[in-house]
Amino acid sequence: LSFRVIRAAQATWQGTVSDGGGHIAVSSGALDGPYSFRARVDDVEQVTNPEELIAAAEAGCFTMSLADRLTEAGHPPRELRTMARARLEQVGQQFNVTRIDLSAVADVPGIDAAEFARLAEQAKDCTITRALAGTEITLEASLAAQSLAGG
């Protein structure tokens, strides 16, 4: 029997896109709040949007995947930190997430830069990256200074 789980979320909306608003909640309860059209195109405190949630999913998946690769290689990370920037762009009449840029800094005692670079590239092929086949995903990964010093 193969492994399978369901992870869920719910969204609501009232009214028009420009004047109305909505709400997004995930089943763990970690996120439960408003979202809006304006939050997709402008910065609105505490109001989420689908694009930053895609960025969060990709950052989280890649970072856990990198921790897994590093651990298997005998170098569990002291700390990994990944920023994901999703670009929402007009393409003809559509708005597309044309790319997500990952930028990771890793504090990993005892690893050399070449092995780290190889594992980071492998980690990019994670569950959410494969789901996001319609958008380009780029990666810049570097070792923190304390790793290079043998920290």
How far apart are the two ends of the chain, measured CA to CA in Å?
Answer: 44
- Assess contact for 53 and 88: CB atoms under 8 A: no
CB of residue 116 to a copy of itself, shortest distance in Å: 14
Q: Work out how close the CB of 1 gets to a copy of itself at its nearest, in angstroms, rounded to a whole number.
A: 10
Which of these segments, 14-22, 109-117, 141-149, binds a copy of itself (CB under 8 A)?
Answer: 14-22
Binding segment for a copy of itself (CB under 8 A), chosen from 35-43, 110-118, 141-149, is: 35-43
Distance CA 86, CA 101 (A): 7
Question: Is 135 a binder of a copy of itself (CB under 8 A)?
Answer: yes
Please identify, using beta-carbon distances, which residue of 112 and 136 lies nearer to a copy of itself: 136
Closest approach, Cβ 141 to a copy of itself, in A, equals 13
Please identify, using beta-carbon distances, which residue of 130 and 150 lies nearer to a copy of itself: 130
SS3 60: helix
Nearest approach, Cβ of residue 112 and a copy of itself (Å): 20
Return d(Cα 151, Cα 148) in angstroms, integer: 7
Q: Which of residues 38-97 bind a copy of itself (CB under 8 A)?
A: 39-64, 66-68, 71, 76-91, 94-97
